[in-house]
Structure 1
Amino acid sequence: MKRADSWAALRLHETEPLDLLVIGGGIAGAGVALEAARCGARVALVEARDFAGGTSSKSSKLVHGGLRYLAQGQVGLTRESVRERKALLRDMPGLVTPLRFLLPVRRGDRKGRRILGLGLAMYDFFAGRRTRQWHAPAAVLAQAPHLQEQDLAGGWSYLDAQTDDARLVLRVLAEARLHGALTLNHVAAESLIEAEGRVQGACLRDAASGETRVVQARVVVNATGAWADRLRQNLGEGPKLRPLRGSHLVFEAWRLPVAQALAFFHPRDGRPVFALPWEGRTLLGTTDLDHRDPLDREPGISAAEFDYLMQAVRAAFPSLDLGLEDVVSTFSGVRPVLDSGDRRDPSKEAREHLILAERGLLTVSGGKLTTFRASAIQALRRVQGRVPALQRLRPDAPLLRTPGIASLQAARALPPALRERLLARYGDATATLLTEARPGELQDIPHAQCCLAELRYACRHEAVLHLDDLLLRRSRIGLLLRDGGAALLHTLRPLVQETLGWNDERWDDECHRYRDRVLRCYGIPTEWRP
């Protein structure tokens, strides 16, 4: 269903209530919409900005059990995360993929071989299989030859997983639509509608047309992530979240070559830092500090964070002599973390999800990318009494349908890597993507991990409203290429203008908007000095 058709379809629910109105199009909202829709509930999801436009496109790209949470005593969270990681690997092959970590151990580390080994043993126990292995120093250096050799005592390796977080959200939303959910991009919930002391809907505004619509719903779900407290304030409720910023650097893979993920401790404060291969580049992260800027301003890395991460990578890989010119891009996300009231160390805040039912408003926030389905199931169980269809929740059912015969046959002749990528990201829509592709559009754009056919499909079917929607989330061109892929804009112009109907003035405006956003939020901070 096209975006305009979805907006028109909401008119029915001005008088006939939806079962659920989900506000927020990140992974939390997408998970709720899918689990409710597959039960047969009438669901609509609205996102004020862009699907996955907040934290869900700016995470560390890891689907992991949270090894460091064991050290903080969060055993239940780790157990749940490992279980969900296993399920995602099973249900999303090619989109959620195994990733081996190497954790060097140095003499004098606070967490030596024995303590780390005990934590990894619990990790393996929860997963039901042994993946941990101890390596002598020579074996560690054979796997990571550029690693700092001084005081190296050996290292542990273990198994986790990774994903393209934005594409994960889009695939879950696509699955929700297959089950009948409406999903609307760039539609904001301006206010909540209350009657008889309960939230019973919301006033929605379409960013493209400015049109407003009041929609009734038996349950309104607040899945707005770091913005969740703002919506709760409409009910006079106090804050529950502590917004924390995590920033990352993206390097050329040949300048920071890692065959597997490497985790190490920062020389300044002992916090864990990682470098991992992702989409043909190397990702370095992450910071963890209070985010004090306005939430409506897209976050960007600070000079202090940039310096912190550069200090970490130079200490871990001194022979590489990494510098400013080796950084392709940066990105920052704001985590909606539960506020314990202890302001001393952001890294010690719990990463468990928050589920609150307050006068008809169901809030789902906090948590981790990995546990989105578990939090969705727990939240929906809280409101089963008001939505009878939710009695049919199936927490152990496969998350996604497998691609149909038409898509499998259409993809059969593709090169293996392209076939796996398209089927993983687009599922049964792969046949449509391939049918609509023009000659030559299935060739990969160098270093971009996508092809023009994917961009054509996104413009036609994935609710693209702005150029940054296309280049930062439908594809990851803005992260993987220097200057956000500005050198490609001339090549992309005819495709984008044709599929989105943009005239020359609109194209120029979008390019200016995109370049400004890349410079402010995905580049190197101008005030940083080496």
Structure 2
Amino acid sequence: MQSRDLQLKQLLETDLDVLIIGGGINGASVATAISSSEYRVALVDKTDFSSQSSQNSSGLIWGGIKYLQSGKVFLVRQLSRQRNALMRAYPSQISETRFLLLFDKENWIKRRFVYFGTWFYWLLGGGRTDRPRLVKKEEIRQLEPALARKNGFTGVEYSDATLVDGDARFVFNLIDKATRNSSLAINYLTVTGLNFTRHEGGSAWCVSLFDEINQKKITINTRVVVNAAGPFADNINQLAGVNTKYRHVFSKGVHLVVKRFADPGRVLSFFSSDGRPFFVIPTGGESSIGTTDTKVCNQDTHVDEMDREFILTNLNKVLAKPFQLSLTDIISERSGVRPLAVSRKNEELKNFFHLSRRHLIESSKDFPIITIFGGKLTSCLEVGTDVRREISSFLDSPNILFQNHWLGEPDAKTMSEFLDLAGSMMNHKNLPDALFKRLWRYYGEDAYNILIKINSEPDGSAIILKEFDITRAELDFIRENQMVMKLEDFIRRRTLFALTFNKQELSDLPGMWQACEILFGDLAGSRYDEYFG
């Protein structure tokens, strides 16, 4: 990815074909889907990429088994096939994961019912994952010693998938791929005005933007706008003077991250007091617990006392006393809104908690603007393909050439060659194999550049942040290629530091200040204070 300043310069010198507003999973998938075309494309976000809903998900790539309860069989089939496609396309970043759903001894009938449901789920997914199975209480006691024995838990085990390095990293990798195909992507660029004009030579949107980093106003032109602003999509449409058939309602989801107490190789699941499935999800060596589902009226949410009490109370019901958790055990918290698409005709939502995360694409009849309502990580490939089709119709270019396989990471052979080369070059550097596997997941073929720096520069192999084996060479690469403008961008969205350490622990990490100096140079002090206060 080119530097922010260089991309800003190119943006000001270019009349765009497509401007994508929003750098979450929807915007990222659209940018990647159309970046292989001849279109002049830019993506902008008012904060950092993936800094809203897309950094606060459960990190699950799943087929939506819970939607079977409300009879949404076709939706589950779609999501399961999309999950399979993502696992094939991103084998190092998305891992098939076993889910162990717990039932206490009083719920044996429900356990049987769910067991048959998981087989139906498996069939809807084309049988592409490991098969479901029943798990006896003796095995569960061996697998998960932290669980309360008095509950006599038995279980049902089935497969879905998880993001190995979290949601924000996956979204950034999509955006990074789009920029390598000549698209522009710029963070901290707020849309402040949208004005559509028609004239003899054609028509265009005049877009007013505010550069939050340089504190400057700029103006650009684009033929088509893609509104991928997630929970802020309705605000963008209002700014553009566009009326839509659909709108968003919001559900708040909260996760708490605590020290790992469950097997890191699986997701543990149980039913909360309100009947919803709760998950204990491996997160950077720790455990993420959630999620809640609370109807809220706006996009700005935070974790409150009731959220913490609800999650910990439900979790402690299934844990043995020595493993039960309190507020002091919380490492970090996540709170985000799920934007749920509904018709504007539905003023009263009688079944709010049965709403799904399905996406809806709406093109305006009066203006060349496409809005994405709803959506989730699992459906990102379909979102990209659907919006690409709509863009082609707006630009009268149905025959424009696209890469058919716009998704995916380099193939397994290329990854194997990188890991072999890393092993042969790094034997004398005494660096762990896990470091090179992570470099590949994070940077793909760009990891070769880091490898060269590690091998050739005197201090390139020096590990600055040992908690994730981050070297000087990697930090140099991040500074030059990952558009890290604030410390939070690095420790929350390019890595998992902010999820797996609390603020005090982060500030006490021996290499944190040095990393800040490498990333920000003369601005290190202000960036450090901006985050830590």
Helix, strand or coil for the counterpart of 1:316?
A: coil
Helix, strand or coil for the counterpart of 2:71?
A: coil
Aligned match for 1:370, one of 345, 364, 378: 378
8 A Cα contact 1:456 1:496, kept in partner: no
Distance 2:360 2:265 in 1: 36
Confirm or deny that 1:348 pairs with 2:361: no
1:11-45 superposed Cα distances (whole Å, 9 cap, x missing partner): 233xx3x2211111111101100110123322111
1:232-271 paired onto structure 2 within 5 Å: 232-234=237-239, 235-237=241-243, 240-253=247-260, 255=261, 259-266=265-272, 268-271=273-276
Comparing 348-357 with 27-36, greater Cα deviation is found at 348-357
8 A Cα contact 2:204 2:221, kept in partner: no
1:233-312 paired onto structure 2 within 5 Å: 233-234=238-239, 235-237=241-243, 240-253=247-260, 255=261, 259-266=265-272, 268-292=273-297, 295=299, 297=300, 299-312=301-314
Confirm or deny that 1:159 pairs with 2:164: no
Aligned match for 1:420, one of 424, 428, 437: 437
Distance 1:300 1:196 in 2: 43
**Alignment RMSD, CA only?**
2.7
Helix, strand or coil for the counterpart of 2:174?
A: helix
Confirm or deny that 1:323 pairs with 2:332: no
1:15-164 paired onto structure 2 within 5 Å: 16=15, 18-109=16-107, 112-129=110-127, 130-150=130-150, 152=152, 154-163=154-163, 164=166
CA positional deviation for 1:457: 2.3
Letter in 2 for 1:203: S
CA positional deviation for 1:108: 4.5
Comparing 136-145 with 49-58, greater Cα deviation is found at 136-145
8 A Cα contact 2:132 2:156, kept in partner: yes
Letter in 1 for 2:340: V
8 A Cα contact 1:456 1:495, kept in partner: no
Distance 1:205 1:149 in 2: 58
Cα distance change of structure 1 residues 35 and 191 upon mapping to structure 2, 3 Å threshold: same
Other-structure match for 1:466: 486
Helix, strand or coil for the counterpart of 1:284?
A: strand
CA positional deviation for 1:410: 5.1
Other-structure match for 2:391: 383
8 A Cα contact 2:98 2:265, kept in partner: no
Other-structure match for 1:520: none
Helix, strand or coil for the counterpart of 1:240?
A: strand
Other-structure match for 1:218: 223
Distance 1:411 1:29 in 2: 34
Distance 1:390 1:329 in 2: 49
State the number of aligned residues.
Answer: 505
Other-structure match for 1:430: 447
Comparing 350-359 with 340-349, greater Cα deviation is found at 340-349
Distance 2:109 2:217 in 1: 56
Matched-pair identity in %: 27
Other-structure match for 2:429: none
1:3-14 paired onto structure 2 within 5 Å: 3-13=4-14
CA positional deviation for 1:411: 2.8
1:146-179 superposed Cα distances (whole Å, 9 cap, x missing partner): 2234454621101111111111011111111121
CA positional deviation for 1:479: 1.1
1:325-351 superposed Cα distances (whole Å, 9 cap, x missing partner): 222111112111123655456432121
8 A Cα contact 1:478 1:484, kept in partner: no
Distance 2:78 2:522 in 1: 46
Confirm or deny that 1:493 pairs with 2:499: no
Aligned match for 1:399, one of 396, 404, 408: 408
Comparing 409-418 with 375-384, greater Cα deviation is found at 409-418
Cα distance change of structure 1 residues 454 and 243 upon mapping to structure 2, 3 Å threshold: farther
1:71-107 superposed Cα distances (whole Å, 9 cap, x missing partner): 1222222222211221222221221112110011234
Cα distance change of structure 1 residues 498 and 452 upon mapping to structure 2, 3 Å threshold: closer
Distance 1:404 1:139 in 2: 36
Distance 2:5 2:228 in 1: 23
Cα distance change of structure 1 residues 215 and 408 upon mapping to structure 2, 3 Å threshold: farther
Q: Which runs of 5+ in 2 are unaligned?
A: 427-431
Cα distance change of structure 1 residues 153 and 256 upon mapping to structure 2, 3 Å threshold: closer
TM-score normalised to structure 1 length = 0.88
Other-structure match for 2:527: 510
8 A Cα contact 1:381 1:390, kept in partner: no
Letter in 2 for 1:173: I
Other-structure match for 1:337: 340
Letter in 2 for 1:192: L
Other-structure match for 1:411: 422
Distance 1:243 1:471 in 2: 27
Aligned match for 1:361, one of 356, 369, 373: 369
Comparing 2-11 with 321-330, greater Cα deviation is found at 321-330
Distance 1:345 1:287 in 2: 17
CA positional deviation for 1:441: 4.6
8 A Cα contact 1:279 1:449, kept in partner: no
TM-score normalised to structure 2 length = 0.87
Distance 1:449 1:79 in 2: 40
CA positional deviation for 1:450: 4.7
1:264-303 superposed Cα distances (whole Å, 9 cap, x missing partner): 011x21111011222111111111112345x3x5x42111
1:375-414 superposed Cα distances (whole Å, 9 cap, x missing partner): 1111221232233277434555552344589955653445
Cα distance change of structure 1 residues 405 and 79 upon mapping to structure 2, 3 Å threshold: closer
